[in-house]
Amino acid sequence: MDYLKVFITKSRIKSPWLLHFDCGSCNGCDIEVLACLTPVYDIERFGIINVGNPKHADLFLVTGTVNHRNKKVLANLVAQMPDPKVVVALGSCGLTGGVFREAYNVIGGVDKVVPVDVYVPGCPPKPEAIIDGVVTGLEKFARKKDDRP
């Protein structure tokens, strides 16, 4: 059984499917996320697929500030992801609300609404930094408790 557990942990690290949500970003971070998918960075070599569906996703990349309108959507998406899952906040806005944090409609960073595992700073973060953040998140899969008996 140990082999199976090891293999499953390895599979989790080897096959993180990714959901990307633009929570209110200026699109700077989003373009960098998409750049990761291009042949130059080719994150599919790590088994990462951009699935666009919370029910299939393991990794949740959130960019941009959270406001009163979309906080529900953010929470809903995280709730519809099956465990184990990792939430990665991207860019200054995702971390804290960035330059918009004082705006009347802005709540702040992603962690105001859902728990965040990895913070990737930058405005926008470079693709290398995003990949690094994702890989840091993957290490959490090795530590996260297996939810299935």
What Rg, from alpha-carbon coordinates, does the chain have? 15
Q: Which of residues 30-69 bind other proteins (CB under 8 A)?
A: 39, 42, 44-47, 49-56, 58
Q: Which of residues 6-25 bind other proteins (CB under 8 A)?
A: 7-8, 10-12, 14-15, 17, 21
Q: Which of residues 81-140 bind other proteins (CB under 8 A)?
A: 82-84
Judged by CB, which is closer to other proteins: 122, or 131? 131
Contacts of 149 (CB under 8 A, 6+ apart): none
**Residue matched to tokens 């996703």:** 57
Give the Å distances, CA to CA, from 128 to 28, 34, 143. Answer: 15, 12, 24
In terms of DSSP bridges, do strands 49-50 and 66-67 run parallel, antiparallel, or are they unpaired?
unpaired
Task: Compute how many residues bind other proteins; rule: CB under 8 A.
Answer: 37
* Residues in contact with other proteins by the rule CB under 8 A: 7-8, 10-12, 14-15, 17, 21, 39, 42, 44-47, 49-56, 58, 72-74, 76-77, 79-80, 82-84, 146-148
